[in-house]
């Protein structure tokens, strides 16, 4: 097994520190080792997490107190083991009850104090709001597929403001959005934990967003009222924006707006080295590496079972190429210009201004310091229909290049085109990851597979063939 440097081990330990008390032992050992770089990262990250653990407005306060005590005194956690024999029906009932208990527990975690909410709104708007109470509802069809989170809308009630117009006149939000930990299925939950999805999103809003020009933040980001590694409270874009439908695909005008936004968001971090707390795309904890390793694992398992190893359809040549050249693809991506890449920059994570082309970018959970063209490919390839991609691909890439040039960054076309095709190959790894949970024991796709999965499969595979990605120089 590859050994971690003190710096990388520090990052890894601190990703776990709010979830696993045992990580504190690693923290202490690394601090005692005296590594300058490790200590610098540890001090930065641990101070941020310590502040949040000590003052967390969201969540049940009693539960939070005991969590704090477990972090400070790991010996408080006791484990009891028993053995029993059950029939299959008994085991099935037990599993069902455990699932129901877990579901109820997750719902309870979303409750928080009215006083804390009042303080949060007051901090954002500069005055104490006459908050009388709130109700919560699921976003349902309004929400894009929340693969790494659960999202609810909080409807706020104020004294003396009965309708939305009165709230708006008073400069107060009529509703807010609360994101909490959750996952589409166990496969996605495992990956969310490995990549540190909620830690990442908290880090983004708490620190990284401040590196963006104010105009850029206001234009592309929602207002974050409060964030912790467990939940995020943000402005409700529902009244002014609508979710972009990735299944149907983006039209050219919206994709063009996304290209300009990508360039605007990438430029402040372009080739400046990874910001504090952000892993490089070559790091084993990065989204790109985790997806690649997951795809490799599925490929080996499927091959051992006598199947092609590339799930979702007939593209054995692509599956063979990307898995035979996985490390070379990863290395080549590190040679492309590096920036803060969102890494899930797709239509489903954008909200479009109603009646306009303004967009907001959501779900900053998988970012890494890597190639910005990975985000570009997520729009041009994964978020447009095959026909629209074929028609507008190079035009959109030129637009991204042109906007970077306006911002003082030159990206030579031949290199950009080569890097784009490499990023399409990297997107191919997403297929095995996504389809693993929607195939049966024989490797066939189940009938209730999300339609989005099938459409993205067609788009990625089509682009890999159409743009000669298997001939790209590695």
Q: How far apart, in whole angstroms, are the C-alpha atoms of residue 365 and residue 344?
A: 8
Q: How many residues does the chain have?
A: 474
Residue 85's pLDDT is 52
- Where residue 164 falls among pLDDT bands split at 50, 70, 90? low
Q: What is the average per-residue pLDDT within 339-365?
A: 95
Cβ–Cβ under 8 Å, residues 274 and 207: no
Count helices and strands in the chain by DSSP H and E runs: 18, 10
Q: Are strands 149-158 and 131-138 parallel, antiparallel or unpaired?
A: antiparallel
Q: How far apart, in whole angstroms, are the C-alpha atoms of residue 172 and residue 134?
A: 13
Cβ-based burial of 152 (10 A; exposed 0-12, middle 13-18, buried ≥19): middle
Q: How far apart, in whole angstroms, are the C-alpha atoms of residue 394 and residue 366?
A: 26
Coil/strand/helix, residue 83: coil
Q: Tell me which of 439 and 391 has the higher pLDDT.
A: 391
Tokens found for residue 431: 């297929």
pTM value is: 0.76
Q: How far apart, in whole angstroms, are the C-alpha atoms of residue 382 and residue 380?
A: 6
Torsion angle in degrees (nearest 10) through CA of 232, 234, 237, 238: 60
Under DSSP, the state recorded for 350 is E
CA distances from 10 to 15, 45, 395 (A): 9, 9, 43
Question: In the predicted model, is pLDDT for residue 29 greater than 90?
Answer: no
Q: Tell me which of 107 and 451 has the higher pLDDT.
A: 451
Question: In the predicted model, is pLDDT for residue 5 greater than 70?
Answer: no
Question: In the predicted model, is pLDDT for residue 425 greater than 80?
Answer: yes
Residue with tokens 């579901």: 103
Q: How far apart, in whole angstroms, are the C-alpha atoms of residue 411 and residue 417?
A: 10
Cα 277 vs. chain centroid, distance in angstroms? 15
The proportion of the chain whose per-residue pLDDT surpasses 70, expressed as a percent, equals 71
Q: What is the average per-residue pLDDT within 359-386?
A: 97
Q: Which of 45-59, 161-175, 221-235, 329-343 has the highest mean pLDDT?
A: 329-343
Tokens found for residue 386: 């095959």
Contacts of residue 123, Cβ cutoff 8 Å, sequence gap at least 6? 225
Q: Tell me which of 144 and 323 has the higher pLDDT.
A: 323
Mean pLDDT lowest among 99-103, 329-333, 375-379: 99-103
Note the pLDDT tens digit of each residue in 379-403: 999 999 999 999 999 999 999 999 9
The proportion of the chain whose per-residue pLDDT surpasses 90, expressed as a percent, equals 53
Q: How far apart, in whole angstroms, are the C-alpha atoms of residue 226 and residue 231?
A: 8
Cβ atoms < 10 Å from Cβ of 373:
30
CA distances from 366 to 111, 192, 294, 455 (A): 26, 8, 15, 22
Cβ–Cβ under 8 Å, residues 370 and 286: yes
């Amino acid at each position: 097994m590859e050994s971690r440097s003190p710096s990388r081990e520090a990052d890894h330990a601190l990703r776990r520190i709010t979830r696993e008390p045992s990580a504190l032992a690693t923290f202490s050992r690394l601090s005692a080792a005296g590594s300058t770089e490790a200590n610098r990262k540890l001090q930065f990250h641990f101070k941020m997490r310590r502040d949040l653990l000590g003052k967390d407005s969201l969540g049940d306060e009693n539960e939070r107190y005991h969590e704090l005590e477990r972090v400070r005194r790991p010996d408080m956690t006791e484990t009891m083991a028993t053995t029993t024999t059950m029939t299959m029906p008994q085991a099935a009932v037990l599993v069902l009850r455990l699932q129901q208990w877990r579901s109820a527990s997750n719902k309870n975690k979303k409750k928080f104090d009215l006083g804390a909410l009042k303080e949060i709104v007051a901090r954002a708007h500069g005055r104490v709001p006459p908050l009388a109470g709130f109700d919560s509802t699921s976003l349902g069809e309004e929400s894009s597929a929340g693969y790494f989170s659960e999202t609810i809308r909080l409807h706020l009630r104020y004294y003396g403001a009965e309708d939305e117009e009165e709230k708006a006149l008073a400069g107060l939000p009529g509703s807010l959005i609360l994101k909490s930990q959750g996952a589409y299925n166990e496969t996605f939950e495992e990956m969310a934990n490995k990549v540190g999805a909620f830690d990442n999103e908290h880090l983004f809003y708490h620190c990284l967003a401040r590196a963006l020009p104010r105009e850029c933040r206001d234009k592309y980001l929602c207002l974050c009222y409060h964030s912790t590694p467990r939940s995020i409270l943000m402005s409700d874009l529902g009244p002014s924006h609508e979710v972009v439908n990735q299944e149907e695909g983006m039209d050219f005008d919206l994709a063009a707006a996304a290209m300009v936004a990508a360039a605007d968001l990438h430029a402040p971090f372009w080739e400046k080295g990874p910001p504090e707390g952000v892993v490089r795309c070559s790091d084993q904890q990065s989204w790109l590496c985790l997806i690649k390793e997951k795809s490799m694992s599925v490929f080996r398992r499927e091959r051992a079972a006598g199947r092609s190893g590339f799930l979702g359809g007939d593209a054995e040549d692509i599956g063979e190429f990307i898995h035979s050249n996985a490390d070379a693809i990863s290395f080549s991506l590190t040679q492309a210009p590096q920036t803060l890449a969102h890494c899930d920059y797709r239509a489903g994570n954008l909200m479009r201004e109603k009646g306009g082309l303004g967009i907001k970018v959501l779900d900053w959970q998988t970012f890494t310091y890597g190639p910005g063209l990975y985000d570009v490919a997520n729009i041009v390839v994964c978020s447009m229909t095959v026909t629209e991609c074929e028609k507008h691909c190079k035009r959109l890439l030129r637009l991204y290049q042109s906007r970077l040039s306006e911002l003082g960054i030159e990206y030579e076309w031949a290199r950009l085109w080569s890097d784009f095709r490499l990023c399409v190959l990297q997107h191919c790894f997403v297929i095995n990851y996504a389809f693993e949970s929607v195939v049966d024991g024989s490797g066939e796709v189940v009938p209730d597979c999300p339609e989005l999965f099938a459409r993205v499969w067609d788009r990625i595979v089509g682009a890999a063939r159409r743009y000669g990605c298997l001939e790209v120089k590695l």
